[in-house]
Amino acid sequence: MTELVTIASMAAFPLNNTLELPKSFVTTLKEMEGMEQPYGIMILNPSTRVIRITPTSSEEVVKISISISELSSNFLQQLGAILTRYKVKTLYSTGICFTQDDCCYEGYIDMSEFAETTPEQMQTDISQIKGISAVELEILSL
């Protein structure tokens, strides 16, 4: 096999909270197109114990949390239409997750994606979807 499909390395989670990426990861990130200064977001899903590290173009990411009180059959279609209209691609999304009382959706978007709108305008548009009880924004930055 000549082309790498994945790169893997074991890591210890040190008690001092400092975790270094293996040199091969950093080298590969720096070689990727458009990654002059690689940033990234780390997302932990406590229920699956999966940690995702996704490269980003900027040092800020917008987390959009949507509380859904009444899930409509076309919620994802309407959300997708808003993201498409603003030409925004998500770095990661949870999909629809059911919690104790209702369901929710979380998505992470690189701040550089907001060339044609603002996170607040997107928040307003998403809140117009039928069955949405709340839309919260959180800016994650270095």
29-54 confidence digits (pLDDT tens)? 878 776 666 788 888 888 888 888 88
Domain boundaries, the chain: 60-141
Residue 2's pLDDT is 52
Please state, in angstroms and rounded to a whole number, the distance separating the CA atoms of residues 142 and 106: 20
- Whether the pLDDT of residue 57 is over 60: the answer is yes
63 vs 9 pLDDT, higher one: 63
Q: How confident is the model at residue 81 (pLDDT cuts 50, 70, 90)?
A: very high
Residue 20's pLDDT is 84
Can you tell me the mean pLDDT for 101-129? 91
- Give domain 60-141's CATH number out of 3.40.47.10, 3.40.190.10, 3.40.718.10, 3.30.70.1150: 3.30.70.1150
Q: How confident is the model at residue 1 (pLDDT cuts 50, 70, 90)?
A: very low
Q: Average per-residue pLDDT in the chain?
A: 85
Please state, in angstroms and rounded to a whole number, the distance separating the CA atoms of residues 137 and 119: 8
Q: Which residues contact 62 (CB under 8 A, 6 or more apart)?
A: 108, 109, 110, 111, 114, 119, 137, 138, 139, 140
User: pTM above 0.85?
Assistant: no
